[in-house]
Amino acid sequence: MRLAVASSPSPRRRSLRRLSVLVVATATLLGALSTTDSAPSANAAPVLLSQGKTVTASSTENAGTPASAAVDGNAGTRWSSAAADPQWLQVDLGSTATVNQVVLNWEAAYARSFQIQTSANASDWTSIYTTTTGTGGAQTLDVTGTGRYVRVLGTARATAYGYSLWEFQVLGTQGTTAPTCGTANVAQNKTATASSTENAGTPASAAVDGNAGTRWASAASDPQSLQVDLGSSQQVCRVGLNWEAAYGKSFQIQVSDNASQWTTVYSTTTGTGGNQTLDVTGTGRYVRVLGTVRGTNYGYSLWEFTVNTVGGTVDVPVPDIRNPDLGPNVSVFSPSTPAGDIQAKLTAVANQQHTNQFGPERYALLFKPGTYNADVNLGFYTQVAGLGLSPDDVNLNGHVRVEADWLQQGDNPNNKGNATQNFWRSAENLSVTLPAGQIERWAVSQAAPYRRMHLRGQAQLWNGGDGWASGGFIADSRIDGVIESGSQQQFYTRNSDLNGGWSGSVWNMVFQGTNGAPPQHFPNPSHTTIDQTPQVREKPFLYVNGAGEYNVFVPALRTNSRGTTWGNGAPAGNSISLSQFYIVKPGTPTATINTALAAGRNLLFTPGIHHLSESIKVTRADTVVLGLGLATLMPDNGSAALQVSDVDGVKLGGLLIDAGPVNSPVLVEIGAAGSSANHAANPTSLHDVFIRIGGTGTLGRASVSLRVNSNNVIGDHMWLWRADHGANVGWTQNTAANGLVVNGNDVTMYGLFVEHYQEYQTIWNGNGGKTYFYQNELPYDPPNNASWSSGGGNQGWAAYKVADSVTTHQAWGLGSYAFFQTNPAVVASRGFEAPNKPGVQFRDLVAVSLGGVGTITNVINNVGATANLANQISYVVSYP
């Protein structure tokens, strides 16, 4: 279990013409307890498709009037062209759509003659609207057309100026089209096996490597087979065979879901060799060619074996942006919802999730702008959030709280003050007004963010008394009253306004870019205070605008910042219509998720467990992947859960990744190995991303939880955890070597928690890295030092390893704790390990032996007193 052992305080750990409001769908009043139960069809009411999409133009007047300004959703920005005819503006919707309506919000420089056109390829255009009597202003045009590209083609200007549009909006639907056979070879570089090989130079893999100069060859006997694992069940529509001289005269093409029972989809006894393209119909994960009669005296030999699958548009419906189907576990409340109904739902979820630490249930409780009376008691896997653009758009008179009232503390079964296992819950984008004379209790440990909140009152970060609590995260928040940290052992507060100040410290309290933080003092009190945050973007969030439309707001990147993003007015950033998202529900095939991504969609995961048959592949810059209700991703077949290409500005947020029963070499990977692009102007960022190895009813295994190969990545609150308690936990069960491996340069981590991995918890190989707050526990269960050592005479493995090749690295406010429960005689030579170089600097470190159960000999390298039974806490203020 999560343990707390110590003496008091008990530790553990842009005058403008405005576009009129468009009613794009009839909104029904949301019920008190959930969004609509029935899913919208692919041919639902027209929705806005163009906002934020890729747009191009024949010309622009100047740099201040780009094409993109016409689809940014901001009626105060515009596109304007050169003063000549003709001119055009076109938008790429990302996939084929049925277009029902086009809205043009002209500036004074409008078109007298223009056409609206659609195209499948941006080359061949079909006119769906034509006029020679345009009047400018705001025009809403009902049209009928189909295409991926939509453009307005101006042929005669009404003024001496160019054409100028505040906004160009395309409304319609996207969805299912007839399936077609794709052109991609899905077998390339997949795992291939064969009944035999002629020699080591003709392996099975050579037939699927995309190289027509390498081949597989079998032994000279019948039958023989070559099979490829596609990684997931797919609809196979074509197979290609590029035979070498040794071909098959009689052979079959077969598919299977399990590589055991096979279905024949093609058979011949008159094969002629050469290049054969075979159209087939079948579904399976495995595809094989089974040769039964050879065409020569030699074996079977293939230069290439290719497989094509159904590659037409799958059903990727566009959400109804006024009434989206977010699934049964999302409750959306409005001020018109009866207060009793709201409270009944809140109480029911709280009761179910009170002690449900490893259950599959997930919930999101969302409040539309307005005022409510409610008591929100947050249990496991529950997110409460406001749907306003500012936290103050939603005010709860009452509480949003976490109590320590269920887990035994120490030896007294009646003492339930232990908060050290209050994980996996979040409060976001709300204001809370406390009843007079009451406090807000937020007794949490890891993976429980308090983000973008405004608390009108006093906060208590533990349960009072002698209650234990072990870690937490506050960001972009305003607390009007004093915060009492009490027995919280370590805590990180970033870019917030603590108007009432902060009281308390145990081992590791870190404040960054925060107004009202206590002054720098380390240790006793152990306050690490950093004046500014060098570069950060806040987590994207779901909100409802004044027209009742759902959007996701992406806060802007800030540099050298202090305080909140919202305290002085509207936050900087951009809105993305929910129509540009694919809403993923549990049970959605991973192939469909990847199809949506390939079509240019962002992802919104609804609460639940999402089983993955292959990796989710994010390849487009600026993609947003956002989870509601701690949506959980689990790879079932040993793949990564998420793979992000080396591109700009991807945002991942609100996700829990669970390792599956087949070992994954890595669970989340940012950039492929060898990534080298510079993303300083638009870094990828991860927000509230939690990764777990074991503890649940499923045995989880993964070698590395998170590997960062790209440069300039930002981590904004992550807990990487190899479970120390729960089911399927043990040294040889939930195996995991490393939590975080950083290979990219200039990577920054804010609020990093990494615990219980079996080798280095964190390995940093890139230059220019920065960590602000690090909390670690070493594994509880190494059997002995003989089986737990990094070698070279070291005992155990350091919690944080900066590679010897690194020349620049900085870290502030770090803690590592030992509790070697299985064998208290186990020793870790050091908590932190780094090269002794001028550019490598650490500030404010602590090593702790929890209750004296285990030893950390030095804090960093050979510096810092031993932490053991006799001296349980050891500090180092500065290294070197």
Query: Which residues are tagged catalytic?
Result: 777
Residue with tokens 């089209």: 177
Place of tokens 């060619």: 289
Question: Which tokens go with 583?
Answer: 């809403």
Q: Where are the alpha helices (DSSP H) in 261-381?
A: 339-353
* Residue indicated by tokens 């008691």: 377
Q: How far apart are the first and last CA of the chain?
A: 35
Taken in order 423, 689, 557, 770, the sign of the CA dihedral is positive
Could you give the 3-state DSSP secondary structure of residue 830?
strand
Tokens encoding 123 = 């080359």
Task: Please say whether the beta carbons of 322 and 334 come within 8 A.
Answer: no
What is the per-residue DSSP string for 473-520? EEES-EE-S-EE-TTB-EEEEES-EETT-EE--SSEEEEES-BTPPPP
Question: 331 in the Ramachandran plot: left (φ > 0), alpha (ψ -120 to 50) or beta?
Answer: beta
Rounded Cα distance, 153 and 579, in Å: 25
Count CA atoms within 13 Å of residue 712 on its CB side: 19
Strand bridging mode 840-849 / 873-879: antiparallel
Measured between alpha carbons, how far is 769 from 854 in angstroms, rounded to an integer? 30
Alpha helix (H) residue ranges in 222-374: 339-353
Q: How many whole angstroms separate alpha carbon 102 and alpha carbon 112? A: 17
Question: How many C-beta atoms lie closer than 10 Å to residue 411's C-beta?
Answer: 6
At position 118, the amino acid (one-letter code) is T
Dihedral over Cα of 431, 435, 438, 444: its sign: negative
The token pair at 798 is 């350091």
Ramachandran region of residue 791, left (φ > 0), alpha (ψ -120 to 50) or beta? left
Count of other CB atoms within 10 angstroms of residue 338: 10
Q: Report CA-CA distances (Å) from 190 to 206, 232, 238, 254, 852.
A: 11, 11, 17, 17, 50
Would you put residue 573 in left (φ > 0), alpha (ψ -120 to 50) or beta?
left
Q: How far is CA 357 from CA 232, 250, 381, 384, 407, in A?
A: 31, 58, 8, 17, 11
How many of the other CB atoms lie within 10 Å of CB of 838?
8
**How far apart, in whole angstroms, are the C-alpha atoms of residue 471 and residue 540?**
23
Q: CA 273, CA 295: separation in Å to the nearest integer?
A: 8
Cis preceding-peptide flag for 203 (omega within 30 of 0): no
Beta strands in 723-820 (DSSP E): 738-742, 748-755, 762-764, 769-777, 800-802, 809-818
For residue 802, the one-letter residue type is V
| DSSP E strand stretches across 163-223 | 164-173, 191-194, 216-217
Residue 145 tokens, joined? 């057309």
The residues that bridge with 365 in the sheet, in sequence order, are 331, 384
How far is it, in rounded angstroms, from Cα 855 to Cα 793? Answer: 16
Per-residue b/e over 51-78, b at no fewer than 16 CB within 10 Å? bbbebebbbbbeeebbbbbbbbbeeebb
Cα 761 from chain centroid (whole Å)? 21
CB 224 within 8 A of CB 195: yes
